[in-house]
Amino acid sequence: MSNSVRDKVAVVTGAGSGIGRRLAFELARRGARLAVSDVDDIGLGETADRARALGAEVHTAHLDVSDRAEVETYAAAVAAHYGVVHQIYNNAGISGGGQTVLEADWEVYDRTLAVNLFGVIHGTKAFLPHLIASGDGHVVNVSSLNGYLAQPTLSAYCASKFGVRGFTEALRTELLSERLPVRVTVVHPGGVKTNIATATLSQARDQGLAPTAAQLDRTRVYNDKLLKMPASQAAHVIVDGVEAGAPRIRVGSDARTADRLVRLLPGLYPKLIAAVERKLFGTAGR
């Protein structure tokens, strides 16, 4: 199997903004053929136009990854369009944070798990037969730093991203056991400068809820202090890792530091996180 993305058909979900958009550009620069999707048609159109300007062939589609039937139809459409599919980047996700377990209603958990976890499962299962048939496939599932490190007010998000990690690593064991021609990579981005923190406020407003002062302050701190790496740099790191055949890609020094912290101090790290949260945001991040 070839690690290079050149001439590969690469599918990117959540390509209308953030890391997904920059993944599309990075793949386009390296000669991939693209299938990009999002629920944001305007953002998706801008991504597609810029990717085409970089010389890529681009197939676009409106896609809600939480809808299993829609994802299955989409996979068939991409395979019919290109005749082959080599790579799936299951990137689409939402923030799903901002409230404690006691405060959060069931809708937060339902929607966050539907998009962040089941969206990845839907994309993987729908495209996997096509990746196997290509003889040179690659599943790339985007988890998070919060796929191995938990934080207050992010229980739904952490549950989804821990789930992505477990699902992806189980998939890798199966494909290795069966010696099928598909590589598997899980990606753990740290603080990448996207709109994910601000999106939490937008989701609250969409539900008719006024963001609290604590939520506004948390968003400001995230945007000003924690989300630092440009999305373009994150995309470069991810595609470099894919081309290197890496099974696990940690994006950013914060992701690598958090990984070491959890491994070295699994029993102590929650206390350290709670102390940092109090310093940054007040008690328990509130």
Has 157 been annotated as catalytic? yes
Q: From the CA atom positions of the chain, what is the Rg in Å?
A: 18
Cβ of 123: how many Cβ atoms within 10 Å?
26
Strand partners, 10: 34, 87
What does the DSSP 8-state code read for residue 147?
G
CB atoms within 10 A of CB 282: 12
CA distances (Å), 52 to each of 56, 174, 178, in order? 5, 36, 37
Q: Which amino acid appears at position 124 of this protein?
A: T
Q: Catalytic residue among 74, 89, 157, 222, which?
A: 157
**CA–CA dist 28, 47 (Å, integer):** 11
Catalytic residues: 157
